[in-house]
A and B are shown apart, each in its own frame.
Chain A
Amino acid sequence: MNDQQSLWSFILEQQDKLAEQTLTHIGLTFVSLLIAVLAGIPLGILISRKVKWSGPILGFAGILQTIPSIALLGVMIPLLGIGPKPAIVALFLYALLPIIRNTYTGIREVDKSVIDAARGMGMSEWQILLKVELPLAMPVILAGIRTATVINVGVATLAAYIAAGGLGEFIFGGIALNNSNMILAGAIPAALLAILFDYLLSRLQKLNVRKLKPALLPLAVLLLVFSSLYIAPSVKAGSLLAGFTPEFMGRQDGYLGLREKYNLDIRTVVISDAVMYKAAFEKDLDVISGYSTDGRLKAFDLVVLHDDKGIFPPYYAAPIIKKSALEKFPELQPVLNLLAGRINDSIMTDLNYRVDYLKQSPGKVAKEFLERNGLYKQPRQAGSDAVRIGSKIFGEQYILANMYSMLIRGNTDLGVESKTGLGGTKICFDALINDQIDLYPEYSGTGLLVILQTPPKIVAGLKTKEEVFTYVKEEFSKKFLIDWLEPIGFNNAYALMMRRKQSEALRVKNISDLANYIKTH
């Protein structure tokens, strides 16, 4: 990626992808909205009739709304797999509350004497609903649909986590790749969509009740047309299906490199690493872009395909820390280096397995490891100074952050302030640069490619893991005044992985095998 590239040139370059993502995004939003309207309005009408049920139904829809979107998507995976289905269901559930609630409120707020008059004149219940209650409640119902639309445009970005496409692919890819243009290319259209739909629906809402009737038909047609925009990503059947993270999709040492060096032409969907392993285990995906020390490798019996052409650079983990912090706390460096060389790949995989799969707390796993290795000491009385430790949002980083925290508390008089769960690389690194944290564990490969954005020529010249580490350490020191301490030992590199059984059945051991298999099948 090129720093000088402007947002506009990025958009032009990626216009096909952008158009497809935008259409998918609109489609996702409106398919789910359509279902929510079809379910929500009748439900709203029902509870306006049976007021006893309004509490439980509104309460239930309200609870659904409070579930964090990513968690709701996570819950959907075991039930519905990955792809558009769980995304649409999750979006539908989010859209439900405003629509039910506003239908209910709208109908309840219709002047009682008007309904009384309608009934007294001999209108049937059905006529009262269609000719009096719904028309008079329509502005309120439309306000609900408007709220639901805006919510859905926002939440639909998360669909990219579960292989359902949409503008989230750019947004999360951009965050992971530290590529602002990519983030903006996804975020701006998403924001514009929200503003546009909000505006259009607000116009509709302000129309006189009289003019609403003719306006509702085009609305319904539009809803259907928008819904039909949703072309489920990847429908080509038969061959293997790969699920890659947004980050992996955009990286030279990821999907781009796989295509260039291996001529790998596999059909792909974009998915979050949080659900990727499970999806592979459940045979929703065949190949995934995992991390070589991920605990779920062990949990789901996956194997790493050998990178026979060496496109994945080494990702040796080491704490990175601001030089100013090292000067301020001179006692810190030796303590942080206590972990150097202590954890190899299989130990790290096992630690990750305990956290990610056995659901042990990162703190407990960290403490047990330190105790086993004689590194654990009771925390001392902390002074007023505190070291701020950050971590990215996955298990391994939590474990490492916990270990550093315990080492510092046990070996120095410093306090520790943990700021864990700082999203991806960009968020973590920005926090470090902006003095929000003092240190966090980083990987040499990420430093090389994502943060430094080292040109491919130089990358090609760095043959060994030591060369990579030295290069990164020097560049960081020059550019950012940040120091890489000694590597911890393990290499959490990118890896392609498959289910062990499938790998054996297809005789796919390395990535070249995989490329060949796809060519021949």
Chain B
Amino acid sequence: MINVQGISKYYNSVKAVNKVSFEVKKGQTLILLGPSGCGKTTTLRMLNRLIEPSEGIIKLDGKDISNQQPEILRRGIGYVLQHTGLFPHYTVAENIAIVPKLLNWDKQKIEKRSAELLEKLELEPGKYLHSYPGALSGGQQQRVGLARALMANPPVLLMDEPLGALDPITRSNIRQEFNRLDELREKTIVMVTHDIAEAFELGDNICLMNHGIIQQIGTPYQLLFEPQNSFVKDFFNEQRLQLELTVLSIADVWGHLSEQKHSESTMVSKGENLWEVLDSLQRSGSNRVRVNNPASGEQKVIGYRELMTAYSDFKNSVHE
């Protein structure tokens, strides 16, 4: 869907982005991750030509975007910003109708789509359509910002730290909402963030950048267990335990998982990754849970010790 081939951006002699290439398949989410100034936002803004690359080619749906008129190109790409960029002098209804109006939709179609979308985003249309952004909370504003980007149903969505301006609680709520939203599931998304947990939760693939250069592109699993250089390795150190437990599924460690001999009925953990299983262990009361291997349908009863031993054995096996 999105194909980026060797794009660079020079500001005078400074290379803000240096020969970046990646591909995002239809329906996938790519996270551009990295410290401030690593070139992730510049890279994102080149995708809808808010910034013109100094070199390289960007193809969208197989077509070189440099041949398209920028305004027309942008109308077909959803764009969500950290500070929402809602027009303060427009109502919610007018804000989310901006792109459809640029595309000359008729009034009825706009109204129908607005109501539908606000409902999905849990903003009561009757209550909010005619409010001004200033009257909404940060989380509500961000939802309206997302609604605005989704209104014309673009296949591609670019998100520049969409949750960056929110407090941690609102942030994690909206993140979960985003995850559940069917409209987002089918989109091809490129999202910039510097929040590692967010990247791991939302990304199919993560592109870790530093000094304008891609350090590694891969799945969260690959970045954790197959780091290509010391920058990648060190980047996750602070949160490594939680990240690894989140990334690893029960199936990944199944072979290392010993079983407790307990015939009593034990609570079944619905958790798919180790972090979730730990969470259910904590809530089980008996320090035992029954886990499923979705691949084989086998079940095992485990406790903390079994889980952590399996995790540690798995890690040793990876490093060998």
Contact = CB atoms under 8 A, between A and B. Distances in A.
A122 B74 contact: yes
Contacts of A132: 87
Interface string B39-57: 0000000001010000000
Measured as residues with beta carbon below 8 angstroms from the partner, the interface class of chain B is: 20 to 34
Contact of B83 (A113, A119, A120, A136): A113
B248 interface: no
B145 to A, nearest CB: 8
B192 interface: no
Given A113-B84, A117-B79, A117-B84, A123 B71 contact: yes
Contacts of A114: 85-88
Interface in A79-134: 111, 113-124, 127, 132
B72 A122 contact: yes
A120 B102 contact: no
Nearest to B99: A121
B102 A113 contact: no
Contact of B79 (A115, A121, A136, A210): A121
A209 interface: yes
A135 interface: yes
Nearest to B151: A121
A456 B222 CA distance: 110
B89 interface: yes
A34 to B, nearest CB: 26
Contacts, number: 63
Interface in B266-318: none
B194 interface: no
B299 to A, nearest CB: 50
Contacts of A210: 89
A121 to B, nearest CB: 5
Interface secondary structure of A, over-half rule: helix
Interface in B116-159: 145, 148, 158
A111 B74 CA distance: 20
A122 B79 CA distance: 10
Contacts of B98: 118, 121, 123
Contact of A136 (B48, B70, B75, B88): B88
Given A123-B71, A124-B71, A118 B102 contact: no
B81 interface: yes
Given A114-B85, A114-B88, A135-B89, A122 B102 contact: yes
Interface in B80-114: 81-89, 98-99, 102
Measured as residues with beta carbon below 8 angstroms from the partner, the interface class of chain A is: 10 to 19
A113 B88 contact: no
Contact of A117 (B71, B72, B73, B81): B81
Nearest to B70: A122
Interface string B58-71: 00000000000011
Contacts of B73: 122
Contact of A122 (B75, B86, B87, B88): B75
B71 A120 contact: no
Contact of B99 (A111, A122, A135, A136): A122
A136 B87 CA distance: 9
A122 B158 CA distance: 13
A118 B87 contact: yes
Contact of B50 (A111, A113, A116, A127): A116
Given A122-B71, A122-B99, A122-B102, A117 B85 contact: yes
A170 B311 CA distance: 97
B166 to A, nearest CB: 15
A139 to B, nearest CB: 11
Contacts of A121: 74-75, 79, 98-99, 102, 148
Nearest to A119: B50
B302 to A, nearest CB: 49
14 contacts: A111-B88, A113-B82, A113-B85, A114-B87, A117-B84, A117-B85, A121-B79, A121-B102, A122-B76, A123-B98, A127-B102, A135-B89, A136-B88, A209-B88
Given A120-B48, A123-B98, A209-B89, 14 more contacts: A113-B82, A113-B85, A114-B85, A115-B85, A117-B86, A117-B87, A121-B99, A121-B102, A122-B72, A122-B74, A122-B76, A123-B71, A136-B89, A209-B88
